[in-house]
Every structure is written in C-alpha cells, then in structure tokens.
Amino acid sequence: MTEQRARLVASVTGLHFAALQVGAFLAVESVSSSAWSTYAALSAAWLGGTLVGLWVAVPPRAAVIGGVLAFEGLVAFTQLAPWSRGLFVLGVAAVGAGGLWAGGFFTRAARRRATEGVFLHENNGFVLGLVATPFAFAFGGRTTLAALPLVTCLALFRLDETFKLDRSTPA
C-alpha cells in the first residue's frame, strides 16, 4: 500500500470510528438519556471494545461488519422502542462491538510500524467525524445517521486490501 493510500485509509478509519461512537451517543441521547453518565458508559464501552480488539484477533472484515450491524440495530431500536430501558444496555453493547475494530486497527498499524503517520491521520479523520456526524443527524435525521457508518464501511472495504476476500483458497 502506498503511503498516500495508507493515510487515506487511516483518515477514513477515523471517520468511521467517529460515525459509530458519536452516532451511537446521538441515537441514544435523542430518545433516552443525555446525562453525563450515559456518555461515560458509552465511552467506557468503546474503550472496552477497543481493549478486546487489542488482545483478541478478530478478523478485520468481521469486526467492521459486526460494529456496523450493531450500530444499525441500535438506531433501528431507537425507532421501534424509544424510552425503553433496554436501550441503554443495547447502546453499550453496540458501542463495544464498534470498538473491536479500533483495537484491531491499532495493533495492525503497530505491527507494520506505521504508527506515527497513521495515528495522526486516523485522529484527523476522527475529528472530521466529530463534526460530520452531528451535522448528519441535525440536517438528515436518523436516516442519515444510520447511513454514515454504512458509507464509511464501504469506503474502507474499497480502499484497504486488508478487507479483500482471498478467493484463491477454497472455502
């Protein structure tokens, strides 16, 4: 992978992480709780998922798809059962699942010894996501909020060879 492509992948990865993390918080806070404890619990769940992803080798494609599916399930649940007590628990689980790829991404970058520039660009992408995700929700509603991680997921699969399926070996 060229250096420029690696930077782009890292930036899109950061945008993806922000879309999942901030999007989950916005989905939960809009129909359940906007208390600091909700934000703290969701942040702790992200960190917990990241720690699991650091230590457990989850296949990259499975980690990204699992995080996106968990997020999409959370957004759907906020539509179907707003104010449900189960929403908080589902939110914590969804955010933890989203954090799995964060741990995998960081270990992969460390193994390639590409941490210096990669983390800078991942962070820049995350900052962009911190701005883009609330705008998406404010101006596009829940539909746009749900679409953002799908778009970033597809972009990651298109850009990064890590997610390519190996078709040379029989299934």
Question: How does pLDDT run across 68-88, given as a tens digit for each residue?
Answer: 999 999 999 888 887 777 777
- Decide which of 105 and 166 is more confident: 105
| Residue 45, C-beta contacts closer than 8 angstroms, at least 6 positions apart | 91, 92, 93, 95, 96, 99
Nearest to residue 29, comparing CAs of 158, 145, 168?
Answer: 145
Who has greater pLDDT, 109 or 13? 13
Count other C-beta atoms under 10 Å from residue 78's C-beta.
25
The more confidently predicted of residues 115 and 139 is 139
The beta-carbon contacts of 112-115 under 8 Å, at least 24 apart in sequence, are 114/6
Parse the chain into domains and list their residue ranges: 8-160
- The answer to whether the pTM exceeds 0.95 is no
Decide: 53 and 101 in contact? Cβ < 8 Å.
yes
Its CATH class, for the domain covering 8-160, is mainly alpha
pLDDT of 169 > 60? The answer is no
Average pLDDT taken over every residue of the chain = 86
